[in-house]
Every structure is written in C-alpha cells, then in structure tokens.
Amino acid sequence: MNTRKQSIAAWVLAGPALTVIAIFFAIPVVAGLALSLTDFDLYALADLSTLRFVGLNNYLQLLQTPLFWQALGNTLYFVVVGVPLSIGLSLGAALLLNARVSKWQAFFRTALFAPVVTTVVAVAVIWRYLLHTRYGLINEALQGIGISPVNWLGDPHWSMPAIILFAAWKNFGYNMVILLAALQAVPREVYESARVDGAGPLRQFVDMTIPMLMPTLVMVGIMTITGYFQLFAEPYVMTQGGPLRSTLSVLYFMYEEGFRWWNLGNASAVAFLLFVLMFAVSWLLLRFDRDPEGAS
C-alpha cells in the first residue's frame, strides 16, 4: 500500500519535468533525425504534401557542399586553437590563485570569473568595438609597442583569431574555478614531502600536479570542446560569418540553411553531423583518459 502511494506520488512529482523533456526534447530529437532524411523546404512549410523522403541524400549532398566544409574547417580551427588556449589560461589562473603567496584570492576569483556570467551578445558587441581597426583600444595598445594596426574583423586571416581571443576571455573563468577546486583538493603535505625529496617547482608540476589534475582536465576538456563546437553568437554579432565566410561556423551554417533559406531537412542533417562529430571527439577523449598511454 505504502509503495503504491509512493509510486503514485513519484509519478505526480516527476511527471511534469519528464513530460516537458519528452515533448520538447526527446520527440524533437527523433523528429530531427527523421527530418534530416527528407527534403523539407519552404514548399513543404506551406504544403506538407510536397515533402519527400530522400534517405541519406541530405548527408551525401552536404559532404559535397564546399561551404559546409568551410564551416566545418572554421569550427575545427576555433576548437583546436581555442580550447587549448582557454584551458591553458584557466589552468594558469587556477595555479596563480592556488599559489600560497597569492593575495586577495576571493576578489581575483570573482573578477576573473565575471566575464563568464555576462551575456555573450553584449560582450561580443564590446569586443567588436575593442577590435575596431581605427578606434579600437587593442590596436592602440599594439601601436604603443610598435605593431601596426590589424584589421581584426575585416581580414579573413585575423577574424577567427580575434573570435578565439574573445572566447578565451569570456570562458576561461569557468574552468578556472573547477580546476582551482581540484588543486585545492590536493593536500599541501603531498607537495611538502616532494619538496623535502628535492623536487623543484617544475618537477612537482609535471610529476604530481598534472597527473592529479588529469581526470578534471579531461572532463573540463570534453565540456569545453562540446561547448566550442556550438560556436554561433560570437560570429553572428562580431562578423556575421565573414569576411569571406572565414568565421562561418557549422551552427551558423545550420541557422542560415534552416531559418534563412528554410531548407529544414538539410539543416537537420547539419545538426546531426555536428552532434556525431562532438560525440566522437568526446568518446575519444574519454578513452584516452582511461588508457592514457594509448597502449594495450
């Protein structure tokens, strides 16, 4: 009797959340997979009877679309350069905050974290201005040390690096807090005894800190990689995907395919390809974590 009541109460309490997740997430995901196998476009939007099943055609077509490959290349550039830079910054900042000699830790932790909670669109607007060729403070600072102005957001060679710098600034605080907590979990005595054994700071870092941080680093790496694969708002605001499509990301491509040209079938295929890619990379990283030497 008691268990029956409990079971009813459980369904009543969990019901709303599960219903929301089922209707507004699970069903759309499955529908998305189905959608990616159709030629759903503007005509189908008006009249569903024009909808046709096209199998894997959208996927095959995409793999022959140069713009898709460009978007994929841009996104990989952003991930491959941006993720190590961001995590490197996070780790550096965490080590500084964890150093015994650091002062005003609470203040600095909050200050370095502040960009994380800000609105991407708003801070992208600020950075677009900071990166302005003529009136941007970044170029002015560079000129101060004798570097001629860079056309950050107007030159296809510099547009992605500029967005990467912005993303690193915006995001490094998040992983910093997580890594700092992991560092603080290492007892001071461990370092104490290493010092007694004559290990220098570098040896301590390589032989002790890094191995102890490894699980956290892998987790942080996976979270950051999956986050960075979803690049969208930054180029939308700062460059509109340009110049010369140099900052068009996969998600931006999906957005344009889906909500500008209304090729929803095609756009859905883009979304799933991105998902598969993210999943594969995460899976590889997890494997690497369980089997660090890559052997056996």
Partner 1 sequence: MNARLAVWVVNGLLIGLGAVSLFPLLWMVSVSFMPPGAASSLPVPILPRTLTLENYRTLFGNLGMGRYVVNSLLIAVLATIISVSFNVMAGYAFAKLRFAGREAIFKTLLGALVIPGQVAMLPLFLMLKPLGLINSYGGAVVPTMASVFGIFLVRQFARGIPDDLIEAARIDGASELRIFTTIIVPVLRPVVATLAIFAFLGAWNDFMWPLIVLTDDSLHTLPVALAGLSREHVQDNEMMMAGSVVTVLPVLLLFLALQRQYMEGLMAGSVKG
- Print the binding letters for residues 179-198 with partner 1: x by CB under 8 A, - otherwise: --x-----------------
* Residue from 51, 76, 85, 96 binding partner 1 (CB under 8 A): 96
By CB under 8 A, what part of segment 216-235 binds partner 1? 219-220, 222-223, 226, 229-230, 232-233
- Whole-number minimum distance, CB 160 to partner 1, in Å? 19
Is residue 123 a contact point for partner 1 (CB under 8 A)?
yes
- Print the binding letters for residues 4-23 with partner 1: x by CB under 8 A, - otherwise: -xxxxxxxxxx-xxx-xx--
Say what angle helices 250-259 and 66-98 make with each other, to 10 degrees.
130
Is residue 91 a contact point for partner 1 (CB under 8 A)?
no
By CB under 8 A, what part of segment 131-170 binds partner 1? 132, 134-137, 140, 169
If the CB atoms of residues 81 and 281 are measured against partner 1, the closer one turns out to be: 281
CB-CB contact of 280 with 286 (8 Å): no
Query: How far is Cα 134 from Cα 150, in angstroms, rounded to an integer?
Result: 9
* Residue from 80, 88, 102, 211 binding partner 1 (CB under 8 A): 102
- Whole-number minimum distance, CB 39 to partner 1, in Å? 14
Nearest to 74 by CA among 219, 217, 253, 212: 253
User: Could you identify the residue written with the tokens 């000699």?
Assistant: 101
* Residue from 39, 68, 164, 173 binding partner 1 (CB under 8 A): 173
Give me the DSSP letters along 1-53: -HHHHHHHHHHHHHHHHHHHHIIIIIHHHHHHHHHTTB---HHHHH-GGG--B
Is residue 43 a contact point for partner 1 (CB under 8 A)?
no
Q: For residue 125, what are the contacts with CB-CB under 8 A and spacing of at least 6? A: 237
